Chains A and B, each alone.
Chain A
Amino acid sequence: MEAKKIKVILKRGLILFLIFSLFFLEGCWGKKEVDQLAFVIGIGLDQGKKPGDIIFTFQIAQPKKGGQSGSEINNWILSTEVTHAPLSEEKVFEILNRYPFVGTTKILVIGEELAKSGINSVIDSFQRYYQFRRTMYMIVAKGKAKDILNTKLRNDQLPALSLLGRIEENKAVSSFPVTRIGHYLTLLSREGQAPIIPVVDRLQPGEGGIDYKGSEGGEAEELLLEGAGVFRVGKLVSYLTDQESKGYLWLENEVGTRFISTEEMNGISVTAKVIRSKSNYSVTQDEKGPRFNYQLKVIVAMTEVMGSQPPMSPEKWAAFTGDAEKLVAQAIEKECQAAINKDKEIPNDFLGIGRHIEQKNPSLWKEVRNNWEKTLQDLPVDLDVEVTIEHSGVDRNTPVSPVNPEGTRQE
């Protein structure tokens, strides 16, 4: 009976203790309210003015108070020059009186100068600090990263968000490579493959065949993602042109959808939309040594035929489609060949031919790995591109119109 009483008292005491504790439990240690945080969307890294310093540019998206829709945000940009990455967060706090929350960082823009001098030690914090994610996208800026993030876009979008939108929709228009920091780190540790990172540049009206009406002063108000930078041991060693980086995308199986136009043949050129693409590779060896072979199978839809065609029967059209497939294949080959030539020329194996050899023929890789750059330069690389035009839209030949009074059509 006595023991029962004690148990009841203990139970009541415990319940009271738990209720009482509620008043003192305010949540996690060091918790911060949302309005104490500054949500970082993009970070820019540039070489500092002093040797060893890094300029960190934070692009902070701050929800607008009283905005008409929930998605309206203020664009806060802040640059600090520090010696070590984590110190930049302290600086942001000192200035903004908000804790920078870097868990929302999606874009990491690296300035050209810093990229050339090496980024491996600078990005250590981005893969170590628990708030960062390995899914962040990396971009190399032509010029300064700070300028990219400070660009005032015509649609008032945050540059980091604008870039993010394009990168995440990359499969819809695969015209530049995509590199997450996790992917970069994985490639960094590979022996037979060098990482590449897409390049962003500020685009002034009229540059690169693109025109738009900017505000007075001629400042760039658009950003162009095109081409890529090739890295070797963390240093930017070369740039890929638009054509070369597109070649890389074909060979590395990273083409989702995109357009490709052919050269003219008998006054006719074709533009096709890629529906599916699959690349494969094989390694062979003969008396002359190893050979590398890429095989590409691409399914496209014809989206434009330029030039003038006579009316065609279904049979004639089928024959023309066969010829057009060859034209598209040539256009793809041209891009791929540009990438292969660049891979050999640098020579820094961004295509990962060495890694592919290791995958297919490990014993051959063991033979060539110590002298890989020389071997790569001399390695014959073959290319087989097979294109199938699945359909040509809702029409066959190009539009025709009568040219003489008898009503006969042009030939």
Chain B
Amino acid sequence: MERISTHQFLMLGAGVTLGTTFFPVGMTVASSAGRDGWMAVIPAFLFGIPFSLMLLSLAEKYPQKNLIQITEQVLGKWMGKIFGILAILISIYFGGLLARQGVDMFSRSILPLIPFWAFLLSGFVLVLMLVNAGIEVMARFCEIVFPIVAVALIGTALLSIPRFEQGELLPFLENGFKPVLFGVIEIIPWPMEFVLFLGGLLKFLPQGQQEIRQMRAKVWHVLLFVGLLNMLITLVEIWVFGPTEATRLTYGLLTLGKMIEISQTVSGIESIFTVIWMGASLIKVSAFYFLGLWGVQTVFGLKRGVAHMFIIPIMSVIPWTLTRGADLQIAITQADRYLILPLALVWVILLWGVSWWRQRK
């Protein structure tokens, strides 16, 4: 049985939570909360903390089991199967959408002529290699890639300082807290993506009391740090473009990258950043592939190889169903809002609540 260390849990969690959320974050929160959009980011990510802590407490009670197995034990076999199948379908569908989003990013920014199947094919090869190598290797991959992504994001933010529009962030809370609250609601599903992934990851977590304590602290670190990174990007986008323009830009971060100029000699370095963003995209797609794989193995009791045969065709077909970039944005938002959020909310609360109630009895 594979095991990851608490540090690997931190980096894997951060890599999966961040994923490619930094692409739509500015547009999403600015469209709800205008120039105060940046205030919505951290509260939304912190929303994932109680759910992650509930999952860790379940992992403590039911060691070496994933969420589906725990559900089967606590709520009964059929409930476990129902939640398991839902998780499988959602994760495969969402993984496919995210793969398409990675391609969309390249097509819009630097490589518009490359057919998207070429991206998908090469991307899926990398995802399969990662998944096949196991969760520990994936965690190690995150240990290397996540810091690079974080540094690239911070670097983009710092190099954008000369493009800041004076006083663009003012006034604060011009329309009160309500728009900020709407902004929070818009992106609350994002940390829940991590919560779902954590449900599958429980089986591979360290089991010691001290390690579980450490992981409880690390969940805070993960969500807070990723929230901070996304807040930073949102802040910079609003500061540079203003709220109206930030809302209009599909991937504000890519436009920021194109605006970077160092002195009068260095510009056009966005392609370097784009390669880094591809790493982030790989982590996220792989995470949902893992989730689907674990689900298929648990629910149907299939071997790894057979489970791959089940996932690969579905996951690779989904990107083909969305050839329009505009449809893709809507599909991702809807999947987040109407699939991931309700599933994670209901599943974790129900399971944790029943488990707690039984323990009291």
Chain A residues whose CB sits within 8 angstroms of the CB of B327 once the complex forms = none
Q: A130-B109, A362-B171 are in contact. Are A189 and B258 (CB under 8 A)?
A: no
Q: Is there an interface contact between B245 and A28, defined as CB atoms closer than 8 Å?
A: no
Chain A 120-153 interface residues, beta-carbon cutoff 8 Å to B: 130, 133-135
Chain A residues whose CB sits within 8 angstroms of the CB of B118 once the complex forms = 29
Chain A 189-218 interface residues, beta-carbon cutoff 8 Å to B: 189-190
Complex partner residue of B165 from A103, A133, A183, CB under 8 angstroms: A183
Q: Is there an interface contact between B268 and A130, defined as CB atoms closer than 8 Å?
A: no
Complex partner residue of A28 from B111, B170, B242, B267, CB under 8 angstroms: B111
Give the residue name and chain of the A residue nearest to B255 (CB). Answer: A134
Cβ proximity bits A334-370 to B, threshold 8 Å, 1 near / 0 not: 0000000000000000000001101110100000000
Give the residue name and chain of the B residue nearest to A135 (CB). Answer: B259
Is A30 positioned at the interface, with any CB of B under 8 Å from its CB?
yes
Is B174 positioned at the interface, with any CB of A under 8 Å from its CB?
yes
Q: Is there an interface contact between A135 and B244, defined as CB atoms closer than 8 Å?
A: no
Query: Distance in Å from the Cβ of B247 to the closest Cβ of chain A?
Result: 9
- Alpha-carbon gap, A332 to B115, bound state (A): 59
Is A186 positioned at the interface, with any CB of B under 8 Å from its CB?
yes
Is A253 positioned at the interface, with any CB of B under 8 Å from its CB?
yes
Q: Is there an interface contact between B261 and A359, defined as CB atoms closer than 8 Å?
A: no
Chain B residues whose CB sits within 8 angstroms of the CB of A134 once the complex forms = 255, 258-259
Query: Distance in Å from the Cβ of A133 to the closest Cβ of chain B?
Result: 5
Q: Is there an interface contact between A133 and B171, defined as CB atoms closer than 8 Å?
A: no
Chain B residues whose CB sits within 8 angstroms of the CB of A256 once the complex forms = none
Is A290 positioned at the interface, with any CB of B under 8 Å from its CB?
no
- Alpha-carbon gap, A182 to B268, bound state (A): 16
Is B114 positioned at the interface, with any CB of A under 8 Å from its CB?
yes
Chain A residues whose CB sits within 8 angstroms of the CB of B211 once the complex forms = none
Is B108 positioned at the interface, with any CB of A under 8 Å from its CB?
yes
Query: Distance in Å from the Cβ of A40 to the closest Cβ of chain B?
Result: 14
Number of interface residues of B (CB under 8 A): 30
Chain A residues whose CB sits within 8 angstroms of the CB of B245 once the complex forms = 185-186, 189
Give the residue name and chain of the B residue nearest to A132 (CB). Answer: B258
Q: Is there an interface contact between B171 and A190, defined as CB atoms closer than 8 Å?
A: no
Query: Distance in Å from the Cβ of A167 to the closest Cβ of chain B?
Result: 11
Chain B residues whose CB sits within 8 angstroms of the CB of A356 once the complex forms = 167
Chain B residues whose CB sits within 8 angstroms of the CB of A358 once the complex forms = 170-171, 174
Is A94 positioned at the interface, with any CB of B under 8 Å from its CB?
no
Is A315 positioned at the interface, with any CB of B under 8 Å from its CB?
no
Q: Is there an interface contact between A362 and B174, defined as CB atoms closer than 8 Å?
A: yes
Q: How many A-B residue pairs have CB under 8 A?
A: 62
- Alpha-carbon gap, A135 to B270, bound state (A): 13
- Alpha-carbon gap, A358 to B245, bound state (A): 18
Query: Distance in Å from the Cβ of A146 to the closest Cβ of chain B?
Result: 27
Is B264 positioned at the interface, with any CB of A under 8 Å from its CB?
yes
Is B110 positioned at the interface, with any CB of A under 8 Å from its CB?
yes
Chain B 128-183 interface residues, beta-carbon cutoff 8 Å to A: 163, 165-168, 170-171, 174
Query: Distance in Å from the Cβ of A157 to the closest Cβ of chain B?
Result: 16
Q: How large is the interface on A (under 10, 10 to 19, 20 to 34, 35 or more residues)?
A: 20 to 34
Chain A residues whose CB sits within 8 angstroms of the CB of B255 once the complex forms = 134
Q: Is there an interface contact between B114 and A189, defined as CB atoms closer than 8 Å?
A: no
Give the residue name and chain of the A residue nearest to B249 (CB). Answer: A127
Q: Is there an interface contact between A186 and B241, defined as CB atoms closer than 8 Å?
A: yes
Q: Is there an interface contact between B110 and A359, defined as CB atoms closer than 8 Å?
A: no
Query: Distance in Å from the Cβ of B69 to the closest Cβ of chain A?
Result: 31
Give the residue name and chain of the B residue nearest to A103 (CB). Answer: B268
Chain B 235-253 interface residues, beta-carbon cutoff 8 Å to A: 240-245
Is A168 positioned at the interface, with any CB of B under 8 Å from its CB?
yes
Is B1 positioned at the interface, with any CB of A under 8 Å from its CB?
no
- Alpha-carbon gap, A252 to B167, bound state (A): 11
- Alpha-carbon gap, A253 to B108, bound state (A): 36
Give the residue name and chain of the B residue nearest to A165 (CB). Answer: B264
Is B112 positioned at the interface, with any CB of A under 8 Å from its CB?
yes
Chain B residues whose CB sits within 8 angstroms of the CB of A133 once the complex forms = 258-259, 267-268
Q: Is there an interface contact between B267 and A135, defined as CB atoms closer than 8 Å?
A: yes
Q: A133-B267, A134-B259, A358-B171 are in contact. Are A182 and B113 (CB under 8 A)?
A: no
Q: Is there an interface contact between B111 and A29, defined as CB atoms closer than 8 Å?
A: yes
Chain B 46-61 interface residues, beta-carbon cutoff 8 Å to A: none
Query: Distance in Å from the Cβ of A349 to the closest Cβ of chain B?
Result: 15
Chain A residues whose CB sits within 8 angstroms of the CB of B167 once the complex forms = 355-356, 359
- Alpha-carbon gap, A356 to B166, bound state (A): 10
Chain B residues whose CB sits within 8 angstroms of the CB of A362 once the complex forms = 171, 174
Chain B residues whose CB sits within 8 angstroms of the CB of A30 once the complex forms = 113-114
Q: Is there an interface contact between B170 and A359, defined as CB atoms closer than 8 Å?
A: yes
Chain B 185-203 interface residues, beta-carbon cutoff 8 Å to A: none
Chain A residues whose CB sits within 8 angstroms of the CB of B243 once the complex forms = 189
Cβ proximity bits A14-33 to B, threshold 8 Å, 1 near / 0 not: 00000000000000111000
- Alpha-carbon gap, A407 to B145, bound state (A): 82
- Alpha-carbon gap, A183 to B267, bound state (A): 18
24 A–B contact pairs at CB < 8 A? A29-B113, A29-B114, A29-B115, A103-B268, A130-B112, A133-B267, A133-B268, A134-B259, A135-B163, A135-B258, A168-B264, A182-B163, A182-B241, A185-B241, A186-B240, A186-B241, A186-B244, A189-B242, A189-B244, A189-B245, A190-B244, A356-B167, A358-B170, A362-B171
Pick the 8 closest A-B CB pairs, nearest first: A189-B244, A30-B113, A359-B170, A186-B242, A29-B114, A362-B171, A29-B113, A362-B174
Taking Cβ atoms with an 8 Å cutoff, the residues of B that contact A are: 108-115, 118, 163, 165-168, 170-171, 174, 240-245, 255, 258-259, 261, 264, 267-268
